[in-house]
Amino acid sequence: MSKLAWQQPKRGFSSVYVVAALGLLVTGLPFMNASPITLADFEERRDRLANALVAEDADAFVVEPGYTFKYYGNVSQPEWEVWEPEERPFLMVVRPQEDETGTVKANTTFLCPSFEAERARLLGMPFRDSIQIVPWEEHWNPYRTLQQANVFSGLQRHPRLMVDEEMRDFIQRGLATVGFDVVGLKGKVEEVRQIKSDKEVDILRAVNTGTVEAVRQIRKCLYPGLTETDIAVALDNALRAAGLEPFFDIVLFDENASNPHGGTNGSKVLESETFVLIDVGAHLYGYSSDICRTFFPPFLEKPSRGDTLSPRMLEKLKVWDIVFEAQTQSIHQMRENSTASSVDIAAREVITDAGYGETFTHRVGHGIGIKAHESPYLNQGNLDSLLKTGMTFTSEPGIYLVDKFGVRHEDVFLVQGDGEPELLTGSRAIGPWDP
């Protein structure tokens, strides 16, 4: 339809807010077929960590509340420190331990301020038995307390502790000062979180498919005069109605989308030839979606063969297709043992060959899980990281033309052996009228 189906709304309310949410709900939410991570899953991932620690010759993995702690112990930084990041160390210490049969399992201990021990227990972390706590008093050195506890007795060397990027510097130095050998995240230990279980994949598939579906429902409800902010608010509402919790939502029109992450104030108004870019992420059971679509509004009639189009319109159509082809080529490269670099280069070659190389200003993608952006990162310099079966990645090439428009297509994929990766976003876009 080229006639306007809707009147401009009164400021402060727009029908898209309600209609898109209803549109999504009447689909019956077929994508919502995943279940949350259970206690047994948490045990299994800590046991995988224990085995990885043996493989990397480390005596323990030590982690502060944050994303990694959330992954192994279900407590995020704000869930522990509701006020502000706490200067008193509260550490989860996971050690490999062999049982009678020779099987390596995790044995987990918490170094915890003495007066907080009860609060730590009340977190209800996913452990079968009551958690083991090494308490430290306010006037003690917490690191020495850990060193002198029964945890590391029997080792023939300075205990080697592996930490990751979320471990704050003063704690790393505190541990090193009392004689721990502190080493950075690597190898098999990093792979534990990078390689997703079937259950994690199910959740990622649900949340990413649902997020794409929400964008499609929003598009159907658009009418001229809406602002970028109007659409972002309506999209957040639709996602919440479906049981997904949005955590970022970038809606950009035309030239405002030439800045990949936006930065303008959301006041630009939708017109018929506006290229709409939406990049959005939501959470389900602690897992992230991260998808992007670029499209025309539904009230712009799709041109027929032979129609005369403006140069701007022609360029939009051309660029949409180039970015799509770049995404396709990157997907073919998402196989076990490909380098992260090769995935980026596959997309970049398409865009460069089309003459837009300089305008593809960011990497092609990244790992995705409980964080929207996780390692391994798919950039052309990353020759060291090899893709493994079970890793999940975005592919999100883009072309950004300053003062004109920006195009990005983003979907999520699961690497599976030597074959094509599995799409975790339901279906890719088909065209600018069918995102």
Whole-angstrom Cα distance, residue 118 to residue 133? 10
Over its C-alpha atoms, the chain yields an Rg (Å, rounded) of 25
Q: What secondary structure does DSSP assign to 1-61, as a single string?
A: --S--SPPPPTT--THHHHHHHHHHTTT-TT----PPPHHHHHHHHHHHHHHHHHTT-SEE
38 is a site residue for ligand NAG (CB under 6 A): yes
Q: What secondary structure does DSSP assign to 44-99, as a single string?
A: HHHHHHHHHHHHTT-SEEEE-TTHHHHHHHS--HHHH-SSS--SS--EEEEEEEE-
Residue 258 near residue 400 (C-beta atoms within 8 A): yes
Distances (CA, A) of 138 to 119, 171, 395: 16, 15, 48
CB of 227 to ligand NAG, least distance (A): 9
- Helix axis angle, 16-25 relative to 228-241, nearest 10°? 30
Give CA 422 to chain center in angstroms.
Answer: 17
What the block records as the tokens of 428 is: 């890719």
Whole-angstrom Cα distance, residue 350 to residue 141? 57
Binding positions for ligand NAG, 317-356, rule CB under 6 A: 336-337
Using the contact rule CB under 6 A, the part of the chain among 1-9, 139-147, 260-268, 272-280 near ligand NAG is: 260-268
Measured from the CB atom, the residue of 86 and 255 that comes closer to ligand NAG is 255
Single-letter residue type at 51: N
187 is a site residue for ligand NAG (CB under 6 A): no
Using the contact rule CB under 6 A, the part of the chain among 181-189, 218-226, 264-272, 315-323 near ligand NAG is: 264-272
- Of the residues 5, 39, 54, 155, which one makes contact with ligand NAG according to CB under 6 A: 39
CB of 100 to ligand NAG, least distance (A): 10
CB of 430 to ligand NAG, least distance (A): 28
Measured from the CB atom, the residue of 255 and 325 that comes closer to ligand NAG is 255
Measured from the CB atom, the residue of 165 and 418 that comes closer to ligand NAG is 418
Which residue, among 368, 362, 325, has the nearest Cα to 347 in the 3D structure? 325
- Of the residues 53, 120, 146, 151, which one makes contact with ligand NAG according to CB under 6 A: 151
Binding positions for ligand NAG, 268-287, rule CB under 6 A: 268
77 is a site residue for ligand NAG (CB under 6 A): no
Using the contact rule CB under 6 A, the part of the chain among 38-46, 47-55, 134-142, 372-380 near ligand NAG is: 38-46
Using the contact rule CB under 6 A, the part of the chain among 36-44, 114-122, 137-145, 202-210 near ligand NAG is: 36-44
Measured from the CB atom, the residue of 11 and 305 that comes closer to ligand NAG is 11
Q: 3-state class of 405 per DSSP?
A: strand
Q: Which residues bind ligand NAG (CB under 6 A)?
A: 38-39, 42, 74, 97, 107, 126, 150-151, 255-256, 264-265, 267-268, 336-337, 417-418
